Amino acid sequence: MANPFLDQNSYPWSHPEAAKLHRALTVAVHRPARIDLLYRMTGSDLPALAVEGLPPDLIWKQALDNIAACGRLATFLAMKDVRRYPAVCAAVEAVLAADVTAATVRAYDGERVLDRIRLHDLLAALAPDSSQTKVILVRGGARSGKSHSRHRFEWMARQWGAAPVYLCSGMVATVDDVIYSLYAGVESTGSIPPRFDSLQHDWYRKVCFKLGELARARGRKMWIAVDDLGAEADGAPLLDTEIRTFFDLFALILMNPTFGPWFRLMLIHYPDAVPTKWAQDLWCEDVTSETDVQCDQVAEVFQSWSGPDDKKLREDEARSLAVDVITTADNSPLTSVPRLRRISDALKAALDTLESGPS
Of residues 192, 166, 190, 170, the one with CA closest to residue 179: 192
CB 259 within 8 A of CB 212: yes
CB 187 within 8 A of CB 165: no
CB 262 within 8 A of CB 212: yes
DSSP-derived secondary structure letter, 167? E
CB 254 within 8 A of CB 129: no
Helix-, strand-, coil-residue percentages of the chain, each rounded to 5 = 50, 10, 40
> What is the Cα–Cα distance from 213 to 171, expressed in whole angstroms?
25
The pLDDT, as a whole number, for residue 56 is 92
The pLDDT, as a whole number, for residue 1 is 52
The pLDDT, as a whole number, for residue 127 is 86
CB 289 within 8 A of CB 338: no
Terminal alpha carbon distance of the chain: 44
The pLDDT, as a whole number, for residue 102 is 38
Residue ranges of the alpha helices (H) in 262-338?
Answer: 295-304, 315-330
> What is the Cα–Cα distance from 77 to 57, expressed in whole angstroms?
18
H or E segment and range at residue 263: strand 263-268
Query: Is residue 134 helix, strand or coil?
Result: coil
CB 258 within 8 A of CB 289: no
Instruction: State pLDDT tens for residues 221-265.
Output: 999 999 999 888 788 999 999 999 999 999 999 999 999 999 999
Instruction: State pLDDT tens for residues 30-47.
Output: 999 999 999 999 998 899
What count of residues does the chain have? 359
The pLDDT, as a whole number, for residue 116 is 58
Query: Is residue 231 helix, strand or coil?
Result: strand
The pLDDT, as a whole number, for residue 25 is 95
> What is the Cα–Cα distance from 31 to 51, expressed in whole angstroms?
10
> What is the Cα–Cα distance from 144 to 330, expressed in whole angstroms?
15
Of residues 18, 12, 62, the one with CA closest to residue 36: 62
The pLDDT, as a whole number, for residue 2 is 62
CB 222 within 8 A of CB 182: yes
> What is the Cα–Cα distance from 282 to 291, expressed in whole angstroms?
29
CB 258 within 8 A of CB 213: no
Q: Which residues of the chain have pLDDT under 50?
A: 101-113
